[in-house]
Chain A
Amino acid sequence: MTTDTPLSNISPNNFEQCVKCTVCTVYCPVTAVNPLYPGPKQAGPDGERYRLKRGDFYNEALKYCLNCKRCEVSCPSGVRIGDIIQQARMKYSHGSAGLRDRMLAHTDLMGGIATRLSPTVNGILRLTPVKMAMDLTLGIDRHRTFPSYTPRKFTTWFRRHAAAHQERYTRRVTYFHGCYVNYNFPRLGKDFVKLFNACGIGVDLMPGEKCCGVARIANRLIKQATDAARTNLREIRTAVSRGNDVVATSSTCILTMRDEYPHLLGLDNADVRDNIMTATRYLYRLIESGQVRLVFKENGFPYHLAYHTPCHMAKLGWGVYSIELLKMIPGAMVTVLDNNCCGIAGTYGFKKENYKYSQAIGKTLFDSIARENPDFVVTDCETCKWQIEMSTPYRVVNPISILADAIDFEATRQANMQ
């Protein structure tokens, strides 16, 4: 043969490239703890061959997949196993999402209501009888502690206390705060604004921001997820056309907008994908290129920080930016925990049928944290924070909050004045 035959018979998810090496099964957090789950190789490329022949080969047990993408990170052949599984769930799964799944999936709607009623809601969600009732009627596991809702949304605080000063900065970034910062933990958003302002960077919000949609995708509310994604992409395009990058403090929001939009929802984002990134990547690049300087407090930050790489951060491959930023802090001792899943996977761990698997998956991580015995666990994912704080005595902090705490605010502000 003398001419190259084009190798065009390969699907975008690469499923034909699987060489059946079983490496992916070693890294799937679910297979070892849940005998009902067929594992990434069977659920992914192997099962896909059958499903392509007949859709009724679909196995409902695919719902146990966390969509953590650890299988994809390990596959030597570049097979997008997690995507294959999620696509199959979207295409073949029967039955629609029930009330519980809808409630869990609508993190923004639920958050909007709960924020307004927060003292009551927080109290109620903590009451044992309510937890028992949710367990029995909704299937939300009673061992779960709901993250508490804040009485004042981040966006409200921003409008009242921050928006006006942002005009003075020429360098601007658009902050995708996400549901968690807005409804549960505005403190992180405030830390973000403080840190970025100190660095001479103004913060804009997207007026029409919607939930990134990860929970809707996981609960197969595809139309709702697609609508939200379209709105977000429109907002992102507006921000980018003004010269802004779009950053978030949650690695999952970023993975969803960069990769799940095109891969699972079929929305092309190639024109703006490079402009969507985690806050730590954005900041690291400015520091490395000398455009921004951090000045730390005189006595440094004398704590042992153990960085946990969230699954979606591992898939993005950007844990390195957070780790490198932490390593810049004088006095901080930074260790990197072995790469393991915490087990919660967003709304997955809240479901009664998943609770015990969720905790069993997390055990390796919890044990490794206990061995390190750090002052703080540091991570870029809010659901990892809930899970680790619920399952261990350690406090979990976003790297942005650590940096906001460790800098000398005034000196950093001075250093970055044009």
Chain B
Amino acid sequence: MNFDTIIIGGGLTGLTAAIASAERGERTAIISAGQSALHFSSGTFELLGAVDGKPVTNPVEAMDRLPDTHPYRRIGRERMLSLLPLVQPLLSRAGIATTGNHYINRYRLTPLGKIKPAWLTLDDFATFDSPDRLPWRSVAIVNIADFQDFYPTFLARGLRDHGVECTISSTSIKELDNLRRSATEMRAANIARVLDYSAVCNLAGRIKSVGRGADAILMPAVLGLADDLMVSLLRRLVNKPLYFISTMPTSVPGVRAQMMLNRYFTNLGGTLMAGDTVTGARLDNGRVEAVFTNNHGPEPLTASRFIMATGSFFSHGLVATPSSVIEPVFGLDVDYPADRADWFSKNIGQAQPFMEFGVRTDDSWHPSIGGNTITNLQCVGSVTGGCNPIKQGCGAGVALLTALDVTTPRL
């Protein structure tokens, strides 16, 4: 089967690259083994939260202080400034509405009541202009009875530290009784699947009554798995500011983002090969001619260009053996220290070096095998390394911008 562009990996990086290619009319396919890191999303796409451990207010300015190896530095300031404005409209074309901008970080609430920098946040999550001043005097935190993956007490403690009065309550509706019979299945995604039109109408009534008197209502993100219809419905019915707080994974808003991007790509005519793993390739003369997958067996999947967005260790884009770190599909060259002792820090709270490992690429993201560049393959997103998404708060930014860098023609 032949395509113009084949993308390996269907997480945020792969989907962004695929959408950009398909929108330009290229015949595009995504091959993706299993689901991606979007399923753990907090509801915020981060651009740059901290440099050298210090919080960042203005991401564009702070980028200059990042090490040379960081993907943003490699894209370069000018190019970054031309790509950044493309992100929010792309998400919005897929139906994902966000708040935020790249000039100045906004702030969001973590599930434990901490306040963190945010770039683009899903519209149904609260964001603030300032990390020290919250826009509410009082909030009502409303949990779903017996839902364990949400921590109202921690959240309330964090909010009270910022001078916000909190009430905590939990509520339920009969539609959830069935689910409640099994403690292990009382999960955010399963709740979201039960909350249909009539259930949401009932829920809205309950929330309204416990939220009376508060400036805003906060509840766990347990609504809207495939699209945001039920989210809008509940917010409209409650008729006062209502925001979601992320829960323990799996993240409902993350799954929703994944599904909406998948759907948009498919509607553009793109081919999504979900649940399939690229296992090998045929190379000739420094070019990938075809890739082979578990499902398609001997059938070669050919394209003129390939984009590799296979993620990091969690997604098996990189695999650590006791003595080496490898890229399992092509055996691409990977940057990591030779001595295993330098791979990690024993202090679990410190920055972990292994998070920065990645496939070695040239200025335009072409990888190499044994030092020989592959000219029609580019590696983008978290498989490339060079950054620490947790410490620097740059995971989604690296995914989105490296993907756009390889799919947006230079003027």
Task: List chain A positions with a Cβ less than 8 A from chain B.
Answer: 1-5, 7, 19, 21-23, 25-27, 31-32, 35-39, 41-42, 72-78, 273-274, 284-285, 288, 314-318, 320, 323-324, 335-336, 338-339, 364
Contacts and interface: CB of A to CB of B under 8 A. Distances in A.
B224 to A, nearest CB: 13
Contact of B250 (A23, A42, A284): A23
B14 to A, nearest CB: 13
Contact of A21 (B181, B249, B340): B249
Interface string B313-344: 01110000111100000000000000010000
A176 to B, nearest CB: 18
Contact of A25 (B181, B189, B226, B298): B189
B39 A25 contact: no
A7 B297 CA distance: 24
Given A77-B34, A317-B295, A35 B181 contact: yes
Q: How large is the interface on B (under 10, 10 to 19, 20 to 34, 35 or more residues)?
A: 35 or more
B182 A38 contact: yes
Contacts of B185: 25, 31, 35, 37-39, 42
Interface stretch (B113-121, B123-131, B274-282): B274-282
Given A23-B250, A32-B193, A35-B178, A1 B34 contact: no
A338 B277 contact: no
A324 B1 contact: yes
B209 interface: no
A397 to B, nearest CB: 21
Nearest to A323: B271
A23 B323 contact: no
Given A23-B250, A35-B182, A317 B276 contact: yes
A320 B1 contact: yes
Contact of B274 (A2, A37, A285, A314): A314
B361 interface: no
A76 B193 contact: no
B33 interface: yes
A37 B2 CA distance: 42
A4 B323 contact: yes
A208 B22 CA distance: 47
Contacts of A38: 182, 184-185
A75 B323 contact: no
Given A25-B187, A26-B39, A32-B190, A316 B295 contact: yes
Contacts of B275: 72-74, 314-315, 317
A168 B209 CA distance: 78
A141 B219 CA distance: 40
Contact of B321 (A4, A273, A320, A338): A4
Interface in B264-317: 266-267, 271, 273-277, 293-299, 314-316
B263 interface: yes
Contacts of B39: 21, 23, 26
Contacts of B294: 317
Interface in B247-261: 249-250, 255, 259
A324 B2 CA distance: 11
A25 B250 contact: yes
**Which 9 pairs show the lowest CB-CB distances between chains A and B?**
A317-B295, A73-B275, A76-B34, A32-B193, A35-B181, A26-B189, A317-B276, A35-B178, A1-B322
A7 B266 CA distance: 38
A350 to B, nearest CB: 23
Contact of B190 (A4, A19, A25, A273): A25
Given A23-B39, A25-B187, A274-B297, A78 B1 contact: no
